[in-house]
Every structure is written in structure tokens, then in C-alpha cells.
Amino acid sequence: MDRTTLTRNLEVMQKQGLVNVSPGEDKRTRIVSITESGISTLLEAYPLWLSAQTQIAESMQDERMERFLSDIHELIQFTQKT
């Protein structure tokens, strides 16, 4: 994830009260911490995410799933080079 995407996503989570963002040691850094509300939301969302991942994995044959994950890995490597 690039810096601007991360910053934008953190701003949304901060407005929702899920994280606190405070200044770091210099202007280039920030300290991000999860709030109680963020922890609660994470605990609620994680089983749903896990269920979705399981459904996807179960609906694909092992070979296809391995190829899919390999393709995603290659895509990530490609985008990090540009």
C-alpha cells in the first residue's frame, strides 16, 4: 500500500473513532494506535473476513487457489517496482 492510500485510509478510520493518530518524532512519522472501538470492530469483523476467505478457498480447487495466490504475489511485486 502506498503512503497516500495509507494516509487516506487512516483518516477514515480516525474519523470513525477506530484509531488514534498522533505525531511521531519528526514530521515524517505518525504513531497509530487502535481504540477500544477499533478493537471491538476488529473482533466483530474478523470472523466475517475469515468466513469469506474460507468460502473462497473451499470453492476453488487447490491448484487454482495456489495459482491465484501466486498471481496476487506477482502483482504485488510488480506494483512495488513501479
β-partners of residue 33 are 20
Q: Which residues contact 38 (CB under 8 A, 6 or more apart)?
A: 13, 17, 18, 19
Half-sphere CA count of 18, side-chain side, radius 13 A: 13
**Hey, where are the domains in the chain?**
3-81
Q: Is the whole-model pTM more than 0.85?
A: no
Model confidence pLDDT, tens digit, residues 25-80: 998 899 999 999 999 999 999 999 999 989 988 898 888 888 988 999 999 888 88
The set of cell numbers assigned to 49 is: 473476513
CA atoms of 5 and 49, how far apart (whole Å):
21
Overall fold of domain 3-81: Arc Repressor Mutant, subunit A (1.10.10)
